[in-house]
Structure 1
């Protein structure tokens, strides 16, 4: 059991009618907010992570002990692919000079450096269970006094290579690009209870659901934003449940109960 308050939630993603792939219209002020230095290493996913972390919460004036948790299935696959194909085309071997920009966790490094966070830095891929696991890690950092603030980024920006990989799994889930950014802080506004008991049902629908409402998106960004929006509207004593199911009977459930109304300035759901 964890207690927390929620400072803000923001979502940037494709609309339901858009074709799967990268965002057709990235934020118009993207370059103004994050600059263009290092863009030879930063892909669309990394740039969007940094943009949300800088835009939808108060920009710290000094270094902080903030924890940054990025939950993603494909991360900066686009940058890794570009690096490998470029080396192949130029007839060069991959050099250590490209690291850490050539690692699957470089997005979190860019975010930490970009917002001056010196706390825990974590990138995780739990497949379809990513939303629940990412929030669990963020709340654990608060409970363990590692940080007073945990920033969570959940989602994917699907490159062509990521889409090809996703289509190998015939689960019928839609691949919309999008990213949700939320800020969790110490407080007693909500109580979170986690359950990772395996599924033993004969037939299980993979993916996420809020209560009985099932999501048709593979990308956890959308259900994460919806769930955090739902809990902000709960009355004291009410609760909501987010359940994520993956292959091999893997299941993660998060039950959030409203305990009171803190004085923390809660932001709404970003567009």
Structure 2
């Protein structure tokens, strides 16, 4: 059991009717907010992570102990694929000394450096269970006094390579690109209870669901944003449940109970 307050939630993503792939219309002020330094190593996922972290919460004036948790299935694999293709074309060797930031978790490094966070830095891929695991890690950092603020970024921006990979699995879930950014802080506004008991249903429906309402998206960004927006509308004593199911009977459930109303919530500037 964890207690927390939720400072803000923001979602940037494709609409249901858009073709799968990268965002056709990224934020108009993307370059103004994050600049272009290091763009040769940053893909669309990394840029969107940094944009949301800088835009939808108060920009710190000094270095902080903030924790950054990124939950993603494909992360910045688009940048890695681009570097590999370029290496083949230019006859270079695939070595870290030739390709700075050539790791699947470099997006979190860009975010931590970009917002001056010195707390825990974590990138995780729990497949379809990613929302529950990512929020659990974020709240754990608050509970053990690792940080006073945990910033969570959940989602994917689908490169062509990611789409090819996703379509190999028979989940029957659509691949919309999108990213959710939320800021959790110490407080008692909500209580979170986690359950990782194996799923014993013979044929569980895979993916995320809020209560009995199932998400049709493979990308966890959308169900995460919907759930976090929902809990902010709860009355004191009410609960909401997010359940995520994956193959091999893997299951994670998050139950959030409203304990009080925070009248002093603050957020970022947004667009």
TM-score normalized by the length of structure 2: 0.98
Q: Deviations over 1:104-132 (max 9, x none)?
A: 00000000000000000000000000000
| Residue in 2 that maps onto 1:111 | 111
- Alpha-carbon separation, structure 2, partners of 1:14 and 1:2: 32
Deviating above 3 A after TM superposition, structure 1's stretches of 4 or more consecutive aligned residues are none
2:148 is aligned with 1:148: yes
Alignment check: 8 A CA contact 1:67 1:147 kept: yes
Shift of 1:91: 1.2
Alignment check: 8 A CA contact 1:207 1:245 kept: yes
Q: SS in structure 2 opposite 1:96? A: coil
Shift of 1:100: 4.8
| Residue in 2 that maps onto 1:183 | 183
Aligned length: 270
Task: Return 5+ residue gaps in structure 2 as ranges.
Answer: none
Q: CA RMSD in A?
A: 1.2
1:139-218 aligned within 5 A: 139-218=139-218
Q: Deviations over 1:156-190 (max 9, x none)?
A: 00000000000000110000000000000000000
- Alpha-carbon separation, structure 2, partners of 1:169 and 1:53: 31
Q: SS in structure 2 opposite 1:240? A: strand
- Alpha-carbon separation, structure 1, partners of 2:169 and 2:96: 33
Task: Return 5+ residue gaps in structure 1 as ranges.
Answer: none
Shift of 1:95: 2.8
- Alpha-carbon separation, structure 2, partners of 1:197 and 1:61: 42
Alignment check: 8 A CA contact 1:7 1:264 kept: no
Q: SS in structure 2 opposite 1:97? A: coil
Alignment check: 8 A CA contact 2:58 2:267 kept: no
Shift of 1:92: 1.2
TM-score normalized by the length of structure 1: 0.98
